[in-house]
Structure formats: C-alpha cells, structure tokens
Amino acid sequence: MNTTTQTAGVNTQTTGTESQANKDAYFSVSNLKAYYGDSYIVQDISFSIDEGQIVALLGRNGAGKSSTLRAIARASEPELRSGTIHLGGESLHDKQDFEAALAGVQLVPEDRRIIPGLTVEENLDLACIEGETGWDYERIYNLFPRLKERRKQEGITLSGGEQQMLAIGRALARNIKLLLLDEPYEGLAPVVRHDIERALLEVKNEGITTILVEQNAVAALKLADRALILDTGEIVFRGSAQEVLDDEQLRHDYLAI
C-alpha cells in the first residue's frame, strides 16, 4: 500500500487504512495531472477505490470535480499529461475515450446528453451499438419504471429527473465497471432524487463502482462509502463519508454546509 503523504492543503486527514493510491486496488489513479491548454487544473491527484464502492467526490464550484471525471473517462479535454489510471487491472491512461468506454468506464455528464429526435428506447439502443451490452431493457425499466412508461416518448421531452434516469439507464445498457456521475441531482425535486438514490444503491448492489460528484454534499454522503474533497484541483481530504458529516470545520471550509 502506498502511504506517501504529500497531499497539499490543510485537513489531509488520511486515516491509517486509507491509501492515496493503491495500484492493487480495483480502481486507482496515481499522480494525475491534467490541463486545459496552459491551465493546470487536475493537480497531481491520487486515490483508489474498492470494487462496488460509492465514492463522493466533493468540493466547491470550480474545484476540478468535472475535470477529474473527464480525465478518468479519457475525454480529449482536459489533456492528461501525466499519471496513471487503472481499472480492474487494465490501464486507462494510455487509452482514448472510446477505448476507456470499452474498458467499462461510463461518464454521465452534467448536461445528460440525451439525443434529440430519438425516443427513450432508441437512446438505449444507441448505447448498445458498441461494446458488450450490459443490463437488458427490462432490468433498466425495473430500475426506473418511469422510463418504461415513457419508452416511446422522445427523450428530450422528459422531465429533468427522467432524463437523468435515462442517462443512467443508457450507461447501464453497456457492460460497465465504473460509473462516473456528474451532479445527477442537479435541479431535481427531493422525491425524484430519492428515486435516483434508490437506483444507485441497486447499482451498487450489482457490484458496479461509482464516483458521485455532487453539489448536494449531504445527499451524496448519505449514499457514499467514502469521500474525497477537492479544492483548486488538489485532494484536501479523503476518508469515510461519516467523517465529513462529523467535521463541521471541514464542511465549512470546503463544502459550505
């Protein structure tokens, strides 16, 4: 286990059992550095996740959460200039976005990217074109019964919550190992959020590993096994979700809750 402790910032409350990046872990990133042009945004990030865990990735607006997810999914931007990423023994840092997707990484971006002109079901069909198929539609519809009711309806006419369900359903239609969720609760009423929370716990029970980025830190921590807090592109805290909930100073300094 790698126990070097060079994380910058205060409150790097690394507990004895937490590692910055354990390359033997199911998922790990090590010394990840990513840039938009000359702007150094993801600043030497390392962490690891056990299989089937939900990790909340938290931090203020602009802290670098979305950029970290994009770097992991191997989006063209931000550009990954150094560091390693491993998932289930396979390297991702040397891959492009579509190869990372084939390796089992699926990013559900904040804007959900529902394809206009296609029904709910056609959006799912499109997800299955490449790579191994994952959950069959019946299973996805069991997870989100509202999608079944609306399966012949154009995807972009759905409510925000239903579009989020479709975006998650579309990810599950492929054979994924790591689900990257960028602010899935944004703009959703609590009752709809609860439907999605229930679904995410079911996804966890199926052994899928999740990184959950959320502005609603309390809601994310309720679901998460562990938490990471980013500030200006660096990890300033790693620990259990409960530790964050119990640490008023930490919440005040980095999460404004």
Instruction: Report the residue number, 162 or 183, with the smaller CB distance to ligand ADP.
Output: 183
Smallest separation, CB 167 to ligand ADP (Å):
17
Which of 7, 48, 67, 164 touches ligand ADP by CB under 6 A?
67
Smallest separation, CB 182 to ligand ADP (Å):
7
User: With binding defined as CB under 6 A, does residue 33 bind ligand ADP?
Assistant: no
Instruction: Give the residue among 158, 96, 91 at the shortest CA–CA distance from 123.
Output: 158
Residue 198, C-beta contacts closer than 8 angstroms, at least 6 positions apart: none
Instruction: Choose the contact partner of 59 out of ligand ADP, Mg ion, none; CB within 5 to 8 A by kind.
Output: ligand ADP
How many CB atoms sit inside 10 A of residue 213's CB?
24
Q: Which stretch binds ligand ADP (CB under 6 A): 43-51, 65-73, 125-133, 243-251?
A: 65-73
SS3 state of residue 35: strand
Q: Distance (Å, rounded) from C-alpha 47 to C-alpha 106? A: 18
User: With binding defined as CB under 6 A, does residue 184 bind ligand ADP?
Assistant: no
Which of 66, 106, 123, 164 touches ligand ADP by CB under 6 A?
66
User: x-or-dash pattern for Mg ion, window 49-88, by CB under 5 A?
Assistant: ----------------xx----------------------
Structure tokens belonging to residue 194: 């609860």
User: With binding defined as CB under 6 A, does residue 17 bind ligand ADP?
Assistant: no
Structure tokens belonging to residue 195: 């439907």
Exposure string of 169-183, with b = 16+ CB inside 10 Å and e = fewer, is bbbbbbebbbbbbbb
Q: How far is CA 180 from the centre of its chain?
A: 2
Binding site for Mg ion (CB under 5 A): 65-66
Question: Which residues bind to ligand ADP, rule: CB under 6 A?
Answer: 36, 39, 41, 59, 61-67, 77
